[in-house]
Amino acid sequence: MLAIAEGDGDFLPLGAKHYAFFAEERPQLLVTFEDAASLRDRDDKLPEHFALARARGWSILTILAEGETWWRDPAVFRYFDRLADDGFLEDFDRVVFYGAGSAGYAAAAYSITAPQAELVLIAPRATLDPGLAGWDERHRIARRINFRGRYGYAPDMTESASQVWLIHDPLHQPDAMHAALFQRPWVTPLHARYTGEGTEDTLREMKVLDRIIEAAMEGKMSAERFSWLWRA
């Protein structure tokens, strides 16, 4: 990973618990959020979607987290502030933010820095603020994190997006309740019934996850396309 970053890219520590990995290709950018431990478990020690980005000629920016931080760190705030101030994300012809679960929260929260980005979110959490999502009994450790303040409430942070594709199981109550908090004119809910907590894993096993991300990057994603992929 460091060798790739030293070429046309970058690898930066962001405080004590986060890192930013960037590999530059063509002016289409995929932004993802990952747990650093999962990356270390892979044979290639690279972000999960690096191979897809490299094969398609996209640039990729992955924010790695050590532990269950939910990317709620002033160092990460400052990093995205700097990207916005420098106009870095606006230099790309297309930007897609992708994330699932807590990473879906982060993808939504930080997408505000990339006007007209397209988002692919799988079962994203809107917040864990007990005043807004006290009904979600998952993620007990993360309840100590402050979800108020900057980049805090993920649904509001999607307001600059061109389109948000929100994939979830409407029959799985906590994910459906988070999805309801994201209701906005630019958010399209896409239903993956009977997947429960494993929506991302199911899409990966069906070999359609990469195709969904690719469709978003090409500007060809739609509810009809998702329905076709889901039933294929």
CB atoms within 10 A of CB 97: 30
CB 72 within 8 A of CB 47: no
User: Of how many residues is the chain composed?
Assistant: 232
Q: If you ran DSSP here, which 8-state letter would residue 80 be given?
A: H
Q: What is the pLDDT along the chain (232 residues), one digit of tens a residue?
A: 555 555 667 999 999 999 999 999 999 999 999 999 999 999 888 999 999 999 999 999 999 999 999 999 999 999 999 999 999 999 999 999 999 999 999 999 999 999 999 999 999 999 999 999 999 999 988 988 999 999 999 999 999 999 999 999 999 999 999 999 999 999 999 999 999 999 999 999 999 999 999 999 999 999 999 999 999 7
The domain that holds 127 is classified in CATH as 3.40.50.1820
Cβ contacts of 215-224, under 8 Å, gap ≥ 24 = 216/96, 216/98, 216/118, 216/120, 216/165, 217/28, 217/30, 217/56, 217/58, 217/94, 217/96, 217/118, 219/94, 219/118, 221/118, 221/120, 221/163, 221/165, 223/188, 223/190
Domain count for the chain: 1
Beta-carbon-side half-sphere exposure of residue 145 (alpha carbons within 13 Å): 20
Residue 48's domain comprises: 2-231
